[in-house]
Amino acid sequence: MKSLEEGPSHIDMVEPWLEALMADYNRDSMAQRDQYKAQVHLRGSVLQEIIWWALQSLPDEILVGLDFDGSLPVRQDVAAQFKSEHEQNDLFQGQGYVVTEAHIVNRGDSFSVHHLPEEWIDGIYSQDRGSRAGRFTHWLHTHPNAPALPSEADADAAQETQGIDMILGLRFTPEGPLPWYDDYEGVQRSLGSKQQTPRKKGFFARKRLPVLGIAPSGHAIHDIQLIAFHKNGFGINVVLVNDYGSPYILDHNIESQ
Ligand SMILES: [Zn+2]
């Protein structure tokens, strides 16, 4: 069972450019907090790890199981900053604890990615915990060169989730067999929303894409989108925190607010 596992680093080693994007995302999460019913705190080093995995697994999507640390409740001072006026407790398993662990459990296309391979289905759990075997509290899957918006298959798969579902959308070049596909309806949430990529299509628009950072795989990253949602359909606000539970915040962002 350990073969597919790679635990997150215990030292916060997030790339500076990604840290800045996370701070930007957190600023949006704070500004839009009243649109959510709950928040989830995700460790930034875990998100970075998942982004690298996603780009190493192309052209497949990957399914990542996420777990929280039961000894690591979210910091109450941080939770208060991101608290929605509609906030509800006890909406999902693991609510109130920092997500600290990620494991790749599957890869495939947008449909097959949700169906776990045999070795991940534990006989004890499979009966009452559905086709994704319920081994993990939360789930994240990737949308290579597509926005982070749930498809019908994604919404179906989420019905078995005890915690919450997340989608990571990445826009990158070289595109390989997957050119950016953006014909979806819905609210997109990017890291680094100030540096929005041009929405025009075509060669020249592509040439002007800003490069947010370069992944270890060599891909230039142009957009990173992240959303979280509950199986009942409402959005969950994501707060990206460091190993001490503090949100990534840029000093100049605080000054400008
Ligand atoms: Zn999907």
**Residue 7 within a domain:** no
Give the chain's mean pLDDT. Answer: 85
Lowest mean pLDDT, pick from 1-15, 45-59, 134-148: 1-15
Ligand 1 center to residue 166 CA distance, Å?
9
Ligand 1 center to residue 148 CA distance, Å?
8
**Residue 143 within a domain:** yes
The domain of 181 spans 16-255
| pLDDT > 70 in the chain, percent | 80
Q: For residue 156, what pLDDT is reported?
A: 93
Query: Which residue has better confidence, 129 or 238?
Result: 238
- Counted domains in the chain: 1
**Residue 180 within a domain:** yes
Q: How far apart are CA 180 and CA 144, in angstroms?
A: 8
**Residue 79 within a domain:** yes
- Whether 133 has a pLDDT exceeding 50, the answer reads yes
Ligand 1 center to residue 75 CA distance, Å?
31
Q: For residue 253, what pLDDT is reported?
A: 44
Ligand 1 center to residue 168 CA distance, Å?
9
**Residue 8 within a domain:** no
Ligand 1 center to residue 72 CA distance, Å?
29
**Residue 2 within a domain:** no
Mean per-residue pLDDT for 136-150?
95
Q: How far apart are CA 51 and CA 104, in angstroms?
A: 12
Ligand 1 center to residue 78 CA distance, Å?
30
**Residue 185 within a domain:** yes
Q: How far apart are CA 79 and CA 47, in angstroms?
A: 19
| Chain centroid to CA 170 | 10
CA neighbor of 231 nearest in space, from 60, 38, 28, 47? 38
- Whether 127 has a pLDDT exceeding 50, the answer reads no
- Tens of pLDDT, residue by residue over 172-193, are 999 988 888 877 777 889 997 6
CATH code of the domain in which 247 resides: 3.40.140.10
Q: How confident is the model at residue 209 (pLDDT cuts 50, 70, 90)?
A: confident
> E strands along the chain, which residues?
39-43, 61-73, 97-108, 138-144, 165-173, 190-191, 213-214, 220-229, 235-241
Ligand 1 center to residue 38 CA distance, Å?
22
Ligand 1 center to residue 147 CA distance, Å?
9
Near ion ligand 1, which residues have CB within 5 Å?
151, 154
**Which letter does DSSP use for residue 28 in this model?**
H
Ligand 1 center to residue 90 CA distance, Å?
26
**Residue 124 within a domain:** yes
Residues with Cβ within 8 Å of 152's Cβ and at least 6 positions away in sequence, in order, are none
